[in-house]
Every structure is written in structure tokens, then in C-alpha cells.
A = this chain, B = another copy of it.
Amino acid sequence: MVTTQQILERAKRAKQRFNLTSEQKDQALFAMADSIEKNAEKILSANALDVEAAREQMNSVMIDRLTLSHERIVGMANGIRDVAKLPDPVGQVLDTVVRPNGLEIQKRRVPLGVVAIIYESRPNVTSDAAALALKSGNVSVLRGGKEAFRSANAIVEAIREGLESVGVDKDVVNLVQDTTRQSANELMTAVGYVDMLIPRGGAGLIRACVDNAKVPCIETGTGICHVYVDEFADLDMAVNIIENAKTQRPSVCNAAEVIIVHRAVAEKFLPMLKARLVDKRAAEGKTPVELRLDEYARGIIEGTAAGEADFDTEFLNYILGVKTVASLEEAIEHIACHSTHHSDCIVSQSKDNCDVFVAMTDSAAVYVNASTRFTDGGEFGLGCEMGISTQKLHARGPMGLCELTTYKYVIHGNGQTR
């Protein structure tokens, strides 16, 4: 078995030789996509073994995420073709100045180099990540979950075959062969080899990367997102937004976990909320949302009494914390203390209150009168996404191709000295 260190060496060599034009990169991406379709049978066989092995440890939702079909393989290939069609971020001149001494200083967008991605069991992350990295001029080192290893390996083999078919160094896309914790640790500490590490997965994985990484690492994804219903809110709009933010897909990071209701409207609004999220859903045979209420809210509607932890938990489920406040300032303060700074929303018809909320809320995405579920590369018009950063350095919010690049200064002179 090739070791993780050997893969890192390969990746570093590939980076030093990487010098493809935009056209060559796109040709390589189309070749990757074609090769994935051509190798569909091999990929499906490998995937069947993964699914077979996982059947006893995983629930049906997880099994579904892991399972590939012909249709999903075509989807993966088309995903790569979509990436090829995006504009190339590399080479863009971000700024040029000519200094009084005649030096021309250009700030140019360049690839990061080697991007490592640690992810979990969805096989399509393999092809997505490889495509985004290649389009942005980077060498990728992929480290998927153990459960999906055979699938990921078959996909990467197909990708590398495609690259070779158009004369591109296949080592620009690499899959770590070791799926034990050791290989993750090796990537986190690969100083001099990994230019950016992106963990995509649960809070535990992300915490481990942030805590242990010696290479630059992007903190992604954990979302305790809030919707604040202001005293000047359109209450019908508020209930629609909360229903969408909580129930459209509760397992994702941009779903709402806590709502904050101004007490001036609580008496009117909370019964509307309960009717929509609890009673209506129950009547329709859907999972009702469990409301975890603060004391004031419990004086108005029925629900579970909220414990302290309920305002600091990413439920990822049909559970919603409900907090009431006496003022906009108290809402902002609560969000400052309890948000993961991913996506937070105000529902209000007062422009002043919206402006204050926007100015004082320090989150990657701050919404006025719209669902937090829109925090997504596709929805933001980036065309793709490599994850959602909840940190402030380098990238914040959905990461597209530009967020996979850095810049360098190129200075042209004719003998200038200082």
C-alpha cells in the first residue's frame, strides 16, 4: 500500500510541475467526467461492496447517501462538466500599481498549491472536490471515510485514467489509501506539503482539525442559526421563513436551530408558530417540531421547557429552541453569545431595526427577511461549493473557486534598488 507520506510527496511534485492553461484544465475535467461514465460498472461494483459492508452499522439514511446508481454516476460526471464551464479564477489580476520609482506591482490570483480534504461517506464529494481543486489550479489530496473507501478509490482511479488520457499528470488528484485516524493526523500536520486543509463533516472532525492542525485549516460548517422575529415583523412572513429554515432540510448546517421572538408580538406569534410547526405537521402525518420554550414562551403556548444547553446545540433535527426578548438589543446580544456565526436572520419591516441587526451581527451570512437555508454556493451564484466557512480568515461563508486560490505579488523593474 502506498503510504500517506508517499502520496504527499507525489502531490508536492505534481504541484511544482502544475502549469496548465485554462483550456487544458477544462479538457482534463471533461476527460475526468467521461472516464467516470466509462468506468461506471467498476465504480458500481466497488460501491456495492461498500454498501454491503456498511449495512450492519449504518441507518437507512446513511446507506442511501452511500449508495450509487447509474443515475448518480451520470450526476457526478455532469457535476464535473459544470465545474469546467465556470470561469477560471487563476491568473486574474486583482490590482496593479506603478510606483513613483517605476516598479510595476501586480497582485495576481494564483492557486494555493496542494489542497487536502478530509470528508466522510458521500462518494460524490470525491469527484466534486477533485474537480473544484483542479479547476482552481490545485493538486488535491482526498481522504474519504472508511465506509466509502472502495467507491472513492474506484472514482479516483477513473479520474486519474481520464487525466492520463489527455496527457495530464495523474498525480494532480490523489486519494489517501489509509482510512485510519493516523492518515487524518498526517494530513493535519503535513507542514510544507499541504497548503490548505478543509474538513467536511461532523463537528467532531472539524474540532479535531482546528485543534490539531499545524497546516492552515478552514473551519467549516457547524451552524447554530437564528431567526429573530422583531416587534415590527410581518408575522406571516416570519412563520413561513421559520418553517422553511427549520423543516425543509433539518440535517444541514444552514437550518435554523433557535428562534428569538420579541415579547411585544409573542402573544400573537407563538400560537401561529405552534399551529404551523406542530399541529399542522402532525395533522399531515409529518414529524411535528419539538419546541423548546423559555419560561415566558411557556406562559403562551405548550412545549418542552428549554434547558440551558438548548440554546447552544446544533440539533440537526425537528427541534427548535424558542427564546423571547424585550428588545432588539437583547436579541443581538443573545446571537453574539450563542451563534456559531454561520447564518442569522431578522424578520422585520423596520428598516432601522434591520440596519442595526445587520451592523451588529457578526456572522458569515446575515439575512433580512429571508430563510437561512440560502447559505449555499449554488444559491449565492458561485456555481459550486467546497464547504461553508464559519471562520473569518481567508474565506467566510460558501467557498467557491476563488476561495481555493491565493494571490502573489509580481513586481517588474529595471534594476531598482532601495
Contact = CB atoms under 8 A, between A and B. Distances in A.
A410 B358 contact: yes
A367 interface: yes
A368 to B, nearest CB: 5
List the number of copies, as a whole number: 2
A379 B102 CA distance: 11
Given A374-B418, A417-B241, A418-B248, A381 B97 contact: yes
Contact of A216 (B97, B358, B392): B392
Contacts of A414: 237, 369-370
Contact of A99 (B103, B112, B234, B379): B379
Interface in A341-377: 358-360, 362-371, 373-375
Interface in A218-265: 218, 234, 237, 240-241, 243-245, 248
Interface residues of A, number: 64
A407 interface: yes
Contact of A418 (B214, B371, B415): B371
A113 interface: yes
Contacts of A409: 364-366, 375, 380, 396-397
A358 B93 CA distance: 14
Contact of A214 (B16, B113, B210, B216): B210
A198 to B, nearest CB: 11
21 contacts: A19-B360, A97-B381, A103-B370, A105-B380, A112-B393, A195-B392, A241-B415, A244-B417, A365-B409, A365-B410, A365-B411, A366-B411, A369-B412, A369-B415, A370-B411, A373-B418, A374-B416, A392-B406, A394-B394, A396-B406, A396-B407
Going nearest first, the 4 A-B pairs with the smallest beta carbon separation are A370-B413, A244-B417, A394-B394, A392-B406
